[in-house]
Structure 1
Amino acid sequence: MPTKKKTAKRKKAVNPALRQLEQLRKTVKMLRVKLERETRTRKIEARIKSEAQKARALLASQIAALRDQGRKLASDLRSALGDAGKRDAARQQAIAKIAELRAEYAKKSAELRSQLSRTTTELARKSQELKKLAGEAAHRAVEIIRGEEHHAAPEAGASSEPHKEAPPDETAGSRYEKDPDEEQ
């Protein structure tokens, strides 16, 4: 039986070294796995970092483009507001000019109506006067013609004196000599 003890002792003696070797192998294996994981993690981190840098650069360029576009839009807006102000001022000027022209038109229209009314009244008055004068002239013409008939009949039979007409009525002549525009 001693042989068995020897082998057991050897196992025990060999076992601590083997056990230590096994432990070292496990530790190496564990460290290798850790190292591989860390390597993969670092690769992933490096890839994420490079992608983040690319995204940051792209985002920065887009932000710059948006900033430029915003400046341009702000400038356009200021210009449009200025144009709107100018248009509003021009519209206000046009409204004022229209009001002024309407007032001037109303004033001139009233003056022209008044003048037309006066002229129409005066024309009617002159027409009445002319009508009256024409009637008087016709009446005198009739009297003159009748007077000549009376004078012609006695003259033909009585004397050879030349016929003398009665002088025209001075008041009647003065009416005909007046210029219608002087009466105003």
Structure 2
Amino acid sequence: MATTARRVFEHQQIWRLTPDALRDATTLLAGAILRDHDSIQHVIGIANGGTAPARMIASTLSVKARTVRAQHNSGDATYQQATGKVALDLDPLARALNGRRMHGRVLVVDDICGSGATLHRLHHDLAPLLSPSAQVLTAVLCLNTGASTLPDYSIWTVSDWVLFPWEKPPADQDTTPLPPPQEVARHA
């Protein structure tokens, strides 16, 4: 039985992604992806955290964003380790495709790659919805240093918890803004 990668938490700070940094990061990701690939035909956000960045990237790329629900954490508390059990709901995507398969490049977007388990599972489970020639690319805002499955693209590499604009801040802990995004890391 394979073991789940462990997210790295140095407990130095809780990083906070600001709305401005989110906008700048998604613009950088879209630009890097278009430099490497002439087009993207589909963008899929992993809900909940990948929904907003997927919509922003899809808007820049002039394609429709779709959503796939995934559950990996056992709750919303900070500093949680990955469970290794990823629950996916591909039914809404399959219904939207109405029997068609996705062709071309399919970009999967998430807020963070913590252990890599969600990206790994989704890459595998998307196969029946893809044409044989489809290519799956992955992009995340943050990559935890403990991840065993790397995305194709990321902005920040982190070794602590990250708070995103769509999450409720912890009541008793200060947060530190992530530095402004400077460049896109290419992992594949």
Q: Which has the higher contact order (CA 8 A, sep 6+)?
A: 2
Could you state the TM-score of these two structures normalised by the residue count of structure 2?
0.12
Could you state the TM-score of these two structures normalised by the residue count of structure 1?
0.12
